[in-house]
Copies of this chain bind each other. A is one copy, B any other.
Amino acid sequence: MPILVMKFGGTSVANLDRIRRVAKRIGVEVAKGYDVIVIVSAMSGKTNELVGWVDEISPLYDAREYDAVVSSGENVTAGLMALTLQEMDVPARSWQGWQVPVRTTSAHSAARIEEIPTDNIRAKFAEGMKVAVVAGFQGISPEGRITTLGRGGSDTTAVAFAAAFGAERCDIYTDVDGVYTTDPRISPKARKLERIAFEEMLELASLGAKVLQTRSVELAMRNKVKLRVLSSFEEQSDEAGTLVCDEEEIMESNIVSGVAYSRDEAKMTLVSVADRPGIASIIFGALSDAGVNVDMIVQNISEEGRTDMTFSLPTDQVKRAEKALAETHEAGNLNYRELLTDLDVAKVSVVGIGMRSQSGVAARMFRVLCDEGINIKVITTSEIKISVLIDRKYMELAVQALHDAFELDKLT
């Protein structure tokens, strides 16, 4: 029998009615002849309740105990889903992470899956079981302790099972019905993509389009797992949602597939630092040691042996960055005149596989922003992405203008 992996997030299993609806959807795939592996999240709200308790007990908690506590929500859903399927006469049983076992590293709360033995579940399929319901987000460390994979980790669980079992496809059911050319809340012209390449999805995921956990996309790309994103709140055909797949499977690539944005960006500028070899290493070494994830970096033209260094970072890491740089300054290792922090910025990016073979995308993007009177503060590019940092108040305008300019509302 071909194997299908289906993953359902917290809102899709928020209560017994929704669990029943999801079970019916699973039944449809079973009727098509699939052996189905279902990955479930905790009922929405449950994980937050558990995390809240742990935070209240101790801000510096033992991550091993945190994992033991927060993993329990997925176990409950897995059991309830198996019971619901059985009630519909679909042979099903639940597995907790340690029962499979989903072997992970010991990096508690951010563990990586290392191995998923398939014998156990395959044997049950051979005996006539049709659905294996697996608690997502969790695994077991080499020491036999429960681990979790970090927020959104159930996506990664799903892709890892699809890879281990050679599944025909991995369907990620969520509260949106696919991947869009941009956020429909910002541009009403946003269009759902039928297909998107792994590389594009990776850029979109890391840019804040929170449809899939970045790691799950990496894993799918590496293992050539066909990923489909679709809504658990709508009737679904085989063609529903968005398929995330290899570039080759997309007939005609768009030059630009999507416009992404992120509000949670800040810009910092070190004014007048010495322009000498090693200065960047001192600055970004100190930031790295402090656990700051620097994104974009710009070094201004040097004047009289001094320069300005500008970089962007997540808003919630600003305090940490300021502290690290001030300490380096006071230790005499870094002499700057001023440290400026700008919280009123946003990042807007255009992403598209087609950029590789098509030049002029950057120039076109800059012209569009210029025509709207939007000043660009920082620029970075990758092979398939161009990102700019702009004033936050222009973010929506920039997204809409770029979406229009690249004609993303039209099918290619």
Q: Taking beta carbons and an 8 Å cutoff, which residues of A are in contact with B?
A: 16, 19, 50, 53-54, 56-58, 61-62, 64-66, 68-69, 72-73, 75-76, 78-80, 82-84, 86-87, 93-94, 96, 98-99, 144-146
CA of A146 to CA of B72 in the docked complex: distance in angstroms?
13
Question: Nearest CB to that of A72 among chain B residues?
Answer: B72
Contact between A54 and B83, CB atoms less than 8 A apart:
yes
On chain B, the residues within 8 Å of A99 by CB distance are 144-145
Q: Tell me if A93 and B65 are in contact (CB < 8 A).
A: yes
Distance, CA A163 to CA B53, complexed state (A): 33
Name the B residues within 8 Å of A83 (CB-CB).
54, 57-58, 61-62, 65-66, 69
On whether the beta carbons of A54 and B72 are closer than 8 Å, the reply is: no
A98 contacts across to B, CB distance below 8 A: 98
23 contacts between A and B (CB under 8 A): A50-B76, A53-B76, A54-B80, A54-B83, A57-B83, A57-B84, A58-B83, A58-B84, A58-B86, A61-B83, A62-B82, A62-B86, A64-B93, A65-B80, A65-B82, A65-B86, A68-B75, A68-B78, A68-B79, A69-B75, A69-B76, A75-B75, A98-B98
Contact of A65 with B79 at beta-carbon distance under 8 Å, contacts A16-B57, A72-B72 already known: yes
What number of copies of this chain does the assembly contain? 2
Q: Are B93 and A79 in contact (CB under 8 A)?
A: no
Pair A76/B72 contact, Cβ less than 8 Å:
yes
Please name all residues of chain B whose beta carbon is closer than 8 Å to the beta carbon of A146 when the two chains form the complex.
Answer: 96
From B53, B54, B96, give the contact of A68 (CB < 8 A). Answer: B96
- Contacts A16-B56, A57-B84 hold; do A75 and B72 have CB atoms under 8 A apart? yes
Q: Which residue of B lies closest to A61 (CB)?
A: B83
Smallest CB-CB separation from A15: which chain B residue? B53
A87 to B61, CA, bound (A): 8
Report chain B residues within 8 Å CB of A19. 57
Bound together, the chains give a CA A50 to CA B77 distance in angstroms of 10
In the complex the two chains form, what is the Cα distance from A86 to B61 in whole Å? 8
Contacts of A96 in B (CB 8 A): 68, 146
In the complex, residue of chain B having the shortest beta-carbon distance to the beta carbon of A84: B57
Q: Is the CB of B144 within 8 A of A57?
A: no
> Chain B: which residue is nearest A62 at the CB level?
B86
Q: Flag if B16 contacts A53 (CB, 8 Å).
A: yes
A80 and B64 within 8 A (CB):
no
For A57, what are the chain B residues with a Cβ–Cβ distance below 8 Å?
16, 19, 80, 83-84, 87
Contact of A69 with B80 in the complex, beta carbons under 8 Å:
yes
Name the distance in Å between A97's Cβ and chain B's nearest Cβ: 11
Please, how many angstroms separate the alpha-carbon atoms of A76 and B73 in the complex?
9
Chain B residues in 8 Å Cβ range of A54: 79-80, 83
Chain B residues contacting A53 (CB-CB under 8 Å) are 16, 76, 80
Residues in B neighbouring A61, C-beta threshold 8 A: 83, 86
- Chain B residues with CB below 8 A from A75, complex form: 68-69, 72, 75
CB neighbours (8 Å) of A73 from chain B are: 72
- A108 CB to closest chain B CB (Å) equals 12
A50 partner residues in chain B, CB cutoff 8 A: 76
Chain B residue at minimal CB-CB distance from A74: B72
Closest B residue to A69 by beta carbon equals B79
| Min CB–CB distance A163 → chain B (angstroms) | 24
Contact call A94/B72, Cβ cutoff below 8 A: no
Closest 10 CB pairs of A and B: A69-B79, A68-B79, A72-B72, A58-B87, A65-B79, A57-B83, A65-B83, A65-B82, A72-B75, A72-B76
